[in-house]
Amino acid sequence: MLLNPAIMALILVSGVVLLMLLSASGFALQLLRHWDIGSGSELQLRLERRAYLISTLLAWVFASELVSLLLFVYNAEAMSGQFVGAMCATGVLNANPWGWPTLFLKIGLFFSGAVWLSLNGLDNRGYDYPLIRIKYWLLLWLVPLVVAEAYLQLRYFLNLQPDIITSCCGSLFSTSAQGVAAEVTSVSPALSMGGLYLSGAAVVVTGLLFLRRQGAVSGTLFSLLAVVAFAAALVAVVSVLSPYIYEHPQHHCPFCILKSGHGYAGYLLYIPLFVGTAAALATGITAPWRHIESLRGAVAERGRGFARLALGMFLLFYLVATWSVLGSGLQMQGVWW
């Protein structure tokens, strides 16, 4: 399995990202100990030059994590034909105990990277780098997550055995099964769609409120409600939207909708949802720093940009979700009431 080009690329990217973050964490410790923007010493000048270089490298690191997440899901989907019992990425992820934890960690790192990049971009707009200690403390907190993700991914790939029989999506995402996936699958259509649109309305209202006032409280509330809407959207995808896309009331898999046979509908749902949530988190992490004089203009500008991007992506997601229901030949009782 390790000779698979996608697997080799994922392991290589993970290794490079880990090495770069470990190197950056060493610099972070030095910076946290010696940084003094008011000093004109040679050490301070070296720290300022290296800080700019490290920030640029870390932007590529977290961009690589996004590519890694997409490639990981795509590879799991592409390998489904190599495992007995696997019909999609679900079966491949079920092939050993390391698959799902690896996916969840990659998702967590995607959002964490988005938060760090937004904080870094804002700090670089200030002439005195007022957030530099905060962003490098945050970086140190991210290093253990990257180490864990690299370890779990390697264990996952090393333990992939093509001669085993794995479980398909029908056995995992079933109302008769046990576990979290089964609980999500069994959520009633009315409750699921109600949560989807209510959380979406709350996100839109708080996003518009933030664009009008641009306060720290409204920005934080916007990002928190976006996380709630993200969770409600994932529940709706499994419990309601997937069956409508498949036009089959018992097919709840969130990965089969990525296939060409279903018009790649999953990408039209997941990409706006993930980008919108990341932009909302960036709005929340940006808004509280308006009181800093050197960042006031940047906070207003970047906050508006992130909020508009988040609202646009969420609205696109809800449009695609609504069309998935209205354009389907399936009818499920209690979806709209």
DSSP letter at 41 equals: -
Residue 253 has what pLDDT?
Answer: 84
Dig out the tokens for 88 from the structure.
């999609």
Pairwise CA distance, residues 240 & 177, whole Å: 17
Dig out the tokens for 181 from the structure.
């996936």
Residue 175 has what pLDDT?
Answer: 62
Could you tell me which of 251, 80, 73, 85 has the C-alpha nearest to residue 167?
A: 85
Pairwise CA distance, residues 292 & 53, whole Å: 24
Residue 278 has what pLDDT?
Answer: 95
Cβ atoms within 10 Å of 229's Cβ, excluding its own: 27
Residue 294 predicted with pLDDT over 90: no
Q: Encode pLDDT of 192-247 as tens digits.
A: 999 999 999 999 999 999 998 888 888 999 999 999 999 999 999 998 998 889 88
Evaluated on CA atoms 28, 52, 149, 238, the torsion sign reads: positive
Q: Which neighbouring-strand residues pair with 165?
A: 84
**How much is the mean pLDDT over the chain?**
86
Residue 46 predicted with pLDDT over 90: no
Pairwise CA distance, residues 289 & 185, whole Å: 41
pLDDT category at 166 given cuts 50, 70, 90 is: confident
DSSP letter at 335 equals: S
Could you tell me which of 198, 252, 256, 199 has the C-alpha nearest to residue 226?
A: 199
Q: Which secondary-structure segment (H or E) carries 50?
A: helix 42-78
Domain ranges for the chain:
1-165, 168-337
Residue 170 predicted with pLDDT over 70: no
Percent of the chain with pLDDT over 70: 93
Residue 337 has what pLDDT?
Answer: 45
Q: Encode pLDDT of 69-96 as tens digits.
A: 888 988 888 887 777 766 777 888 888 8
Contact 102, 266 (CB under 8 A): no
Type of residue found at 75: N
Q: Which neighbouring-strand residues pair with 84?
A: 165
Q: Quick one: CA torsion of 171, 172, 175, 178, rounded to 10 degrees?
A: 110
